[in-house]
Amino acid sequence: MKVLVTGAAGFIGYHVARRLAESKRCEVLGIDNLNDYYSVELKRARLAELEPLENFRFMKADFGDATAFHGIFSHFRPDYVVHLGAQAGVRHSMENPAAYVHSNLVGFLNVLEACRQYPPKHLVFASSSSVYGAGAKVPFHEDDNTDQPISFYGATKKSNELMAHSYAHLYGVMTTGLRFFTVYGPWSRPDMAPTLFAKAICAGEPIRLFNHGKCRRDFTYVDDIVDGVVKVLLYPPTEPPTPPYRIFNLGHNRPVEVLLFVRMLEQMLGRPAQVELLPAQPGDMLETGASIERLHAAIGFTPRVALEDGLRHFVDWFKRYHGHA
């Protein structure tokens, strides 16, 4: 089967593309515009890991460019689409909202339009726990009110869910959105907490923890995320529901204080962390935690990787890639 993966040079996109290509059952086409929001060198290093795989091909392209993306889509005619490409980062969305409009709104519209014109068996797209926003109570349930995201990034992901619902209703596009919860693991982005913290610990630099380190996050290891994405992909919505549209949380369901996360990292790196405890920042959620009962009922999903094991895998990769003994 032919699978299109957007954001294939990204953190989660790389891992999903690899799993699908290694399955031997998929012809995977990955696209990515390789923008410079963070290290292009890291993105190219991920692609270098994928290039030897017989069932993987890559095209540099921006799905925000409707003409270019529709040309690729109409030529490849994917059976399945995994849309993981997006402008990421909660804090960056406060500084450069236009980038989020281009990728997360205009780009997602282009993906939906391509799926309308050349319908795949299933479109799976990345949403985020950031949609829950103000007033959310842990654990977050898919039916909770998500009308008050507290970051512009979260607002664009909420918009994606609404756009996808309308295309499922109007055109029958078989669609599932996955709300990811604090993904970590090897090849993670340099602007994500694990890499930021590990670099600071190794360099002897201070780590600034907002809300005095008491924010709690549902850290989810990337292999568990990939398991969920791939399993969901193979099981499109059935009738009912009408329209053929679903939303699932995809997390670990065991929130951990960020300060404890740092303490675990410093122990594994064998170096002390210099921690600065600061007040909460605007746009930050104090706690995230996923209710995953609905996903378990649908596909039997259960996270397998404990935080201790996942962090060891991350630290092993971090030392190799960044040259820390």
DSSP three-state, residue 179: strand
- Please give the pLDDT value at position 325: 60
Q: How far apart are CA 62 and CA 59, in angstroms?
A: 10
- Please give the pLDDT value at position 283: 63
- pLDDT of 241 > 80? The answer is no
Task: Please identify every residue annotated as catalytic.
Answer: 153
- pLDDT of 32 > 70? The answer is yes
- pLDDT of 83 > 70? The answer is yes
Biggest CA-to-CA distance, the chain: 56
Residue 7 region, left (φ>0) first, then alpha (ψ -120 to 50), else beta?
Answer: left
**pTM of this prediction?**
0.96
For 256-302, the DSSP string reads EEHHHHHHHHHHHHTS--EEEE-PPPTT--SB--B--HHHHHHH---
Label residue 240 by pLDDT band (50, 70, 90). Answer: low
Two tokens, residue 126: 């990345």
pLDDT digits (tens, 9 = 90+) for 92-120: 888 889 999 999 999 999 999 999 999 99
pLDDT digits (tens, 9 = 90+) for 242-283: 899 999 999 999 999 999 999 999 999 999 999 999 998 876
- Please give the pLDDT value at position 236: 94
- Please give the pLDDT value at position 94: 81
Domains, the chain, ordered by start:
2-184+220-250 (3.40.50.720), 193-216+253-322 (3.90.25.10)
CB neighbour list of residue 95: distance below 8 Å, 6 or more residues apart? none
Please state which of the ranges 231-240, 269-278, 280-289, 290-299 shows the lowest mean pLDDT: 280-289
Label residue 285 by pLDDT band (50, 70, 90). Answer: confident
Neighbours of 323 (CB within 10 A): 8
Label residue 128 by pLDDT band (50, 70, 90). Answer: very high
- pLDDT of 211 > 70? The answer is yes
User: Which residue is it, tokens 């995994």?
Assistant: 82
- Please give the pLDDT value at position 147: 92
**Residue 273 or 90, more confident:** 273
- pLDDT of 91 > 90? The answer is no
Label residue 286 by pLDDT band (50, 70, 90). Answer: confident
In the chain, the percentage of residues whose pLDDT exceeds 70 is 98
- Please give the pLDDT value at position 244: 96
List phi, psi (to 5°) of 199: -65, -45
Task: For residues 138-155, give the mean pLDDT.
Answer: 93
- pLDDT of 135 > 80? The answer is no
DSSP three-state, residue 122: strand
- Please give the pLDDT value at position 132: 94
Please state which of the ranges 113-117, 179-183, 238-242 shows the lowest mean pLDDT: 238-242
DSSP three-state, residue 174: coil
pLDDT digits (tens, 9 = 90+) for 52-72: 999 999 999 999 999 999 999
